[in-house]
Structure 1
Amino acid sequence: MKQLKPMLIVFLLAVLMIMTACSGNNGGDTPEVQTPEPEAPVVTQAPTEEPEPAAPDLGGREIRISHWWDATPAGDSEADELARERIKKVEEKYNVKIKYLNTEYWSTSEKLSSSVMANDPFAEIVRLPDGFIWGLMNGGFLMPLEDYLKDTRVAQDVIDSMRFGGEHVYGLESWYNPNDSGMFYNKRIFKEAGLEDPQQLMDKDNWNWTTMLDAAKKLTVDNNGDGKVDQHGLAGAHYVISELLIASNGGRIFDEATKKVVFDSPQAIEALNFEYDLYNTHKVIKENEGNDWEDPAKYFAEGKIAMYPGGIWEIEGRLTDKMQDEWGYVYFPKSPSSSSYSDPIGQTASYVIPKGVKDAEVIVKIWEELQDFDNWESNRQLSLENVLPDETSIANAMNEDGKVQRVFGGRFGGLGVKDQLDSVTGKFVKGEITPSTGVAQVIGPAQAAADKVLSGEIEDKKE
C-alpha cells in the first residue's frame, strides 16, 4: 500500500470524528439539525357561485293587470321611464306581455266574481277598489297568497295588514304612505290674529284637541261688523271629522280581528261628543251650503276658514291653483289623553289574484318586480314637492320625525258600517240627536251590515 499524504490523513481523521459524534448524540446538548423538505404549494380554488335558477317561461302569455284607470306608463316623467324599464325586464325574463286594463270602478267586483265563476278570470292581477275585498275574500273568489310571499321585499307589517284580520293573505301592497291625512291651515288668518299656528303648537308638542278648539273659537269671528260670522275656525265633512277624531283618541269604528263594530267604545263616544260640541256648543265649524264634500275645501281655498281636515290626495284637484293665501299642512291634533298622532286607515285598495289564475306564484313575482321598491320614498318626496307649499309641510307629510302612527286593523270600507255612523253624525250638524242616543240606534244595524258582507255577499254597485 502506498503511503498516504499527511494532509489527506488529517482530513480523514476529521470526518471520522464528526461521524462518531453524530452517532453518539442521543439526548446530548447539541440538537440535531434537519433540513425541512420543501412544502408543496397550496392551490386555493375560487368558490363557485350557484347559478341563478332560470325564470319560468310562460310562453308569451299575456299578463293582464286591471285598475279603474289606465295605468299604462305612457308619460315622459322619470317615474314612467323607470316603470317602462321594469316592464321590459319582466317581459323578457318571464316571456310574457304586460297589458293594463281600465275597468270601471263599480264594475270591478262583479266582473271579478262572474269571471271566476265561469272559470275564466278576466285578469291575472286586479287592483280592487276600497272595501270590495271583504265580500270577494269571504266568498272564495280570491287566491290566498301567503305561501308565495316567503321571499319578498314587502315589509312584514304590510303583508300582515293584507290578512284583514284573518289567517290568509289576500292582498298585495308595496307600502303604505306614512301620513295621508291631517290638517291644512291658513297662515294669514293665524298671523293676523296674533295666534300661534298649528305648526308652532306642534313644534312645542302642544297640538291637541284643546289647542285646536281654542284657536277655532278665537278665529270664528265677524270681520266686517255686520253681526254675522264671516270667518270660521273649521270646516269639514262631518263623516271625515268623526273618523279622524275617533282615531286620534285611540278608538276604532270596526275591529278587523274580532269582526265587531266598535264605535260605541268609550274612546269613540268621547270623540263623537267632542265633534257634537264643535258643531253645537262652540259653533266653530262653518255650515256647508249643500255639499258636505265639496264645500269645505272651497271655503279653505277662498280664505274663509282657518283649518280644514283632509287628505293629501285631495290637494291637486281641490287646492292647487285655487289657494288665495299662504297655507301649511300638519298632523291631525291628538286627543288630550293620547301620546302620539294617528292616521287611520279606514279603507284600502289592494292588488289581488282571482281564484283560478294559473301560475299564481309566478304572477306574484311578476307583480313584485313591477313595483318600484328602491325609489318609492324619493318618488313620494317628489310628488309632495309638487303639491305642498313648503319644506316643513313636506316633512310632516313624510312623517320624518316618526310621530304619526298608522292605525291598522280597523278598516271598515265596503262593510256598510260607516254609513250607519254617518247617519248619526249627519244629525249632529243640526243638533237633532246626541251621540250616545244615536249610536245606540245604529250599532245593531251596523253590525248586521258587516255580517252580511263578511258572509260572502258582494256589493257590486254604489249605494
Structure 2
Amino acid sequence: MKQMKKMKPMLMTATAALMILSGCSGNGGNTPATEAPATDAPAATVAPTEVPEAPAPDLGGREIRISHWWDATPVGDSEADELARERIKKVEEKYNVKIKYLNTEYWSTSEKLSSSVLAGDPFAEIVRLPDGFIWGLTNGGFLTPLNDYLNNSRIAPDVIEAMKFGGEQVYGLEGWYNANDSGMYYNKRIFKEAGLQDPQQLMDADNWNWNTMLDAAKKLTVDNNGDGKVDQYGLAGAHYIFSEQLIASNGGLIYEEATKKVTFDSPAAMEALNFEYELYNTHKVVKENEGNDWEDPAKYFAEGNIAMYPGGLWEIEGRLTDKMKDEWGYVYFPKAPNATSYSDPLGQTAAYVIPKGVKDAEAIVKIWEELQDFDNWEANRKLWLENVLPDDTSIANAMNEAGKVQRVFGGRFGGLGVKEQLDSVTGKFIKGEVTPSTGVAQVIAAAQAAADKVLSGEVEEKKE
C-alpha cells in the first residue's frame, strides 16, 4: 500500500504620526522658523521613524478551529512543541481568540467541509487538505480565494505560486517546500567491495545519471554464493516510484496543471517509461518484490542485499532507522543523460485552506502565519536530518546545499486519478506483460477522464 506523507507558513498607517507632526510645529503656521546657525560639522543622520503596526482586530474571544487528519495539538515536551505553545498564546492574546485543533478523519474531511459550507456554518476556520480534495472544492466554490490577503506575507513567492489551483487564484497556505524530498539510497559496503565508484563519487564528478546508475546496477546484480541464482541486485523499488522519478529526471510531467492535460504519453515521459521497462525486462537489475511493492524494497535494502534504492526522506524513520545492516548514504536521484540539473517532482501536496463563509478571512490568514515557525523551518529540518541520516554528506545532499536539485512545480496529480492509471500500466510492464507504448495507449483516455471528473467538482470518496 502506498503511504502518504503528513505533509506537515500590515496594514501600516502614518496618519497619526502626520497629525502629531503638524500639531507640534511650535509656530502655529504663522511665524517663520528660526534658521539654524551655520556649522562645519557634518549633518547628523536622522533615523527613520518606524510607523507602528495597525492594531490586530479583536475577534471577540471566538474559537479558531484548525483541522488536520491527525491531532496537531502541541502537547509534547520538545522544544518545538514549547515554542508552538508560545506562539499560540501570543496569537490568542493578540487577536482575542482561542485556538482549537480538530482531528478530522481523512476521507470525510472534504465532505464535511462542503456540507458545512452549504449549511452556512463552516466546521473549521482553517482546514488541512490534500490537493486531490482541493481541486474539486475550488471548482465547487467551497473555498475562499486568498490573493487579497497575502500582501506582505512571509510565505515565499514560489510557494504562494504553487498554491494556485487551476488558475490565478491562491486557495492554499503552506510554509515552504523543500527543494529535495526524495532521491537514492545506496549501500556503501556493496560498492566498496566491488571496487566501483559509488553514487556520491559519481555525483561529485558530475557523472551521476541514468547510464552510470545502470552500469553500476548491472555490475552489482550478481550471484555471490555460487548457487546459480542472483542473490544481490543493483536496484530495488516500487514501479510507481521509479516511473515518477524517472519522468521528472527527464524533464517530463505526468500531468500538466496549466493545461489540465495528462502528459505521461509525451516523448520525455515515454523515454523514461521505456528506460524503466528495460531496467526490469532487458537488464533485469531490479529485484522482484515478493508481494508487497511498498514494503519489500526497503526491507531488501536494509538487509544489505540491494545496492541502490529510490525513496523519500520522510520514510527513513519508519523503514531504515535501526534496521540497516551496512553503512549507507543518500544522494540525488540520477538525472537523464541530457539533463542539465537534478530534478525532484512535486507530484502531490497538501495545504491549509479557508472554507467559504469563514468570517474575518484576512485575520484568519494572519493568525495562520503567526502560528508558523518561519524563522526556524530550515534549522529544524536540518536538525531532523542530522538525527536520521548517516553522515554529513548525505545531510548536505538532503538540504540541497549545493543547489543542484530543481523542484518540479506545475505537475501535481495527487487525487486526480491520473497516477493510478499509469501505475496499472507499469505494474504490468515490469512483468513483461505489456510494452510501455501499448499500455499507455490503453489508459491515457481513462486518466484524462478521471482528472476531468475531479476538476469538475466530483471528489472521490474513500478508496480501499
TM-score by length of 1: 0.90
Structure 2 equivalent of residue 430 of structure 1: 431
The residue correspondences of 1:296-375 to structure 2 (distance < 5 A) are 296-375=297-376
Structure 1 equivalent of residue 451 of structure 2: 450
C-alpha distance in 1 between matches for 2:47 and 2:451: 62
Structure 1 equivalent of residue 403 of structure 2: 402
Please state how far the C-alpha of 1:69 moved relative to its aligned partner.
Answer: 1.0
The residue correspondences of 1:15-54 to structure 2 (distance < 5 A) are 49-54=50-55
Distance 1:376 1:46, change over 3 A: closer
Please state how far the C-alpha of 1:75 moved relative to its aligned partner.
Answer: 1.4
Structure 2 equivalent of residue 157 of structure 1: 158
Mind listing any 5+ residue stretches in structure 1 that lack a counterpart? 1-37
Q: Which moved more, 1:137-146 or 1:253-262?
A: 137-146
Structure 1 equivalent of residue 67 of structure 2: 66
C-alpha distance in 2 between matches for 1:40 and 1:332: 69
Structure 2 equivalent of residue 279 of structure 1: 280
Mind listing any 5+ residue stretches in structure 2 that lack a counterpart? 1-33, 39-43
Structure 1 equivalent of residue 167 of structure 2: 166
Structure 2 equivalent of residue 31 of structure 1: none
Please state how far the C-alpha of 1:462 moved relative to its aligned partner.
Answer: 1.9
Please state how far the C-alpha of 1:151 moved relative to its aligned partner.
Answer: 1.5
C-alpha distance in 2 between matches for 1:453 and 1:192: 51
Percent identity of equivalent pairs:
85
Structure 2 equivalent of residue 22 of structure 1: none
The residue correspondences of 1:199-210 to structure 2 (distance < 5 A) are 199-210=200-211
Please state how far the C-alpha of 1:47 moved relative to its aligned partner.
Answer: 7.0
Structure 1 equivalent of residue 221 of structure 2: 220
C-alpha distance in 1 between matches for 2:165 and 2:439: 28
Q: Which amino acid aligns with 1:424?
A: V
Structure 1 equivalent of residue 381 of structure 2: 380
Structure 2 equivalent of residue 105 of structure 1: 106
C-alpha distance in 2 between matches for 1:456 and 1:359: 26
Please state how far the C-alpha of 1:285 moved relative to its aligned partner.
Answer: 0.3
1:232-264 CA deviation, whole Å, 9 max, x = no partner?
A: 000000001000000000000000000000001
What secondary structure sits across from 1:233 in the alignment?
Answer: strand
Determine if contact 1:164/1:409 at 8 Å carries over to the other structure: no
Distance 1:126 1:221, change over 3 A: same
Please state how far the C-alpha of 1:77 moved relative to its aligned partner.
Answer: 1.5
Please state how far the C-alpha of 1:49 moved relative to its aligned partner.
Answer: 4.6
Structure of larger gyration radius: 1
The residue correspondences of 1:81-92 to structure 2 (distance < 5 A) are 81-92=82-93
The residue correspondences of 1:407-422 to structure 2 (distance < 5 A) are 407-422=408-423
- Give every structure 1 segment of 4 or more consecutive aligned residues whose post-TM-superposition deviation is greater than 2 Å: 38-42, 44-52
What secondary structure sits across from 1:374 in the alignment?
Answer: helix
Q: Which amino acid aligns with 1:117?
A: L
Please state how far the C-alpha of 1:51 moved relative to its aligned partner.
Answer: 3.2
Count residues with an aligned counterpart. Answer: 426
- Verify: 1:270 aligned to 2:263, yes or no: no
TM-score by length of 2: 0.90
Structure 1 equivalent of residue 178 of structure 2: 177
Q: Which amino acid aligns with 1:314?
A: E
The residue correspondences of 1:222-261 to structure 2 (distance < 5 A) are 222-261=223-262
Please state how far the C-alpha of 1:78 moved relative to its aligned partner.
Answer: 1.5
Determine if contact 2:135/2:166 at 8 Å carries over to the other structure: no
What secondary structure sits across from 2:339 in the alignment?
Answer: coil
C-alpha distance in 1 between matches for 2:50 and 2:188: 61
Distance 1:229 1:83, change over 3 A: same
Distance 1:40 1:338, change over 3 A: closer
Please state how far the C-alpha of 1:370 moved relative to its aligned partner.
Answer: 0.6
C-alpha distance in 2 between matches for 1:49 and 1:291: 61
C-alpha distance in 1 between matches for 2:269 and 2:139: 28
Determine if contact 2:138/2:165 at 8 Å carries over to the other structure: no
Q: Which amino acid aligns with 1:459?
A: E
